[in-house]
Amino acid sequence: VKNNDPMVYHGYSTSQGHLSCRKAIAGNLNKRFKREYSPNDLFLTCGAAASLCITFRALTASPEDEIIVLAPYFPEYKVFIEGQGARMRLVPSRNDMRLNMDGIKEAVNRNTKAILINSPNNPSGVVYTKEEIKALSDYLMEMQEELDKTIYLISDEPYRELVYNDEPPAFIPDYYDNTIICYSWSKSLSLPGERIGYVLVNDKCKEKEVVMAAVGGAARALGYVCAPTLFQLVIERCIDVKPNIEAYRKNRDILYDGLTRMGYKVAKPDGAFYLFIEAPDGDSEEFSKKAKEHDVLVVPGAGFGTDTHIRLSYCVETEKCVKALPVFEKLMKEYK
């Protein structure tokens, strides 16, 4: 980076982002997922929140438009969707935190613009199986025909590289053409403060040029001039860097094994760095307070749309995870 002209690394890029950076990203995706993306399918953004807001704004034409969100969900989704003038329609979570197809079938209607999925999920850590993604895709294709309209599948994937299964998770565009991916390097390169990510409009998306133009227009209307240019160059040079997930996996195993042994109900987290734990009596506010008294910080689930559960993050030192277990054990005894 030091050898470049300062105009290159501190000057504006095009609003879509430096071509060389988008080339590197497309090349990386094509290699890993055996696709044929071009740099024109990508729009660089100031991080995942920007990617989502830009996508919601690009797809929203009327205040009746709905984006379907599946609980448990990242609470900012509601702010971002409503901030762009659309409505959020919430599908309740299943007890096991798997994809709630019945709930989705009840939610889809004439006003559905898109359905938003987040796998690996924040707050549950659940990674949808290929079968789940296929079932969702098949259903959406059916509904597109029945309603004679396009329904987009927005895949929010900031945790895509943080998966602990041997088999890689489904790449959504392989199952559904009208997919838009919102990505960020905040988690995979651990630089959340730098605000760098992208929107990918799938190359098989219907009228993809129109969608990409809407993405560009939305970014402009929201004041996103371009993604930070120095970090565009960083991404270009670090495109093949893989995060070291062993520390996360170790923490996950310690906590998941320990908690289930104590009798806690927890969906197995195959990705991200969260555990979503059912409060023994279903009162997550009360449980969170008690845990805090023992210096264990957890987030009650109401904000995630599932008030029976608490979220525990294991993006911490392993020692902290080990120390948390006796607290959970003590608390469980209080409930018995």
86 binds a second copy (CB under 8 A): no
What is the total count of residues that contact a second copy (CB under 8 A)?
39
CB of 221 to a second copy, least distance (A): 3
Q: Which of 2, 6, 34, 319 binds a second copy (CB under 8 A)?
A: 6
Distant-in-sequence, close-in-space partners of 157: CB < 8 Å, separation ≥ 6:
118, 119, 181, 182, 183
Mode of pairing for the β-strands spanning 179-184 and 152-156: parallel
For residue 326, cis peptide bond before it (omega within 30 degrees of 0)? no
Query: What distances in angstroms separate CA 85 from CA 56, 62, 116, 303, 311, one per listed residue?
Result: 9, 7, 16, 21, 29
Tell which residue, 2, 4, 48, has the closest CA to residue 227: 48
CB of 217 to a second copy, least distance (A): 9
187 binds a second copy (CB under 8 A): no
> What x-and-dash track marks residues 135-164 binding a second copy by CB under 8 A?
------------------------------
Q: Which of 90, 135, 141, 191 binds a second copy (CB under 8 A)?
A: 191
Do 185 and 24 meet the contact criterion of CB atoms below 8 Å apart? no
Helix 229-237 vs helix 19-33: crossing angle, to nearest 10: 40
Stretch of residues binding a second copy (CB under 8 A), selected from 78-86, 268-276, 298-306, 319-327: 78-86
SS3 15: coil
114 binds a second copy (CB under 8 A): no
Q: How many residues in the chain?
A: 336
53 binds a second copy (CB under 8 A): yes
Amino acid at 91: V
CB of 63 to a second copy, least distance (A): 11
Q: Which of 231, 248, 264, 287 binds a second copy (CB under 8 A)?
A: 231
Stretch of residues binding a second copy (CB under 8 A), selected from 34-42, 43-51, 139-147, 241-249: 43-51
Rounded distance between C-alpha atoms, residue 214 and residue 233, angstroms:
25
Tell which residue, 281, 275, 228, has the closest CA to residue 248: 275
46 binds a second copy (CB under 8 A): yes
User: Which residue lies nearer to a second copy by CB, 76 or 329?
Assistant: 76
Rounded distance between C-alpha atoms, residue 300 and residue 289, angstroms:
9
Q: Which of 49, 70, 108, 214 binds a second copy (CB under 8 A)?
A: 49
200 binds a second copy (CB under 8 A): no
Q: Which of 128, 164, 176, 224 binds a second copy (CB under 8 A)?
A: 224
Amino acid at 295: D
User: Which residue lies nearer to a second copy by CB, 6 or 110?
Assistant: 6
Rounded distance between C-alpha atoms, residue 70 and residue 90, angstroms:
6
User: Which residue lies nearer to a second copy by CB, 83 or 103?
Assistant: 83
Q: For Cα atoms 67, 71, 74, give the angle at the middle one, nearest 5 degrees.
A: 80
Stretch of residues binding a second copy (CB under 8 A), selected from 156-164, 220-228, 261-269, 298-306: 220-228
Interface ranges with a second copy (CB under 8 A): 6, 9-13, 46-47, 49-54, 76, 79-80, 82-83, 85, 190-195, 220-232
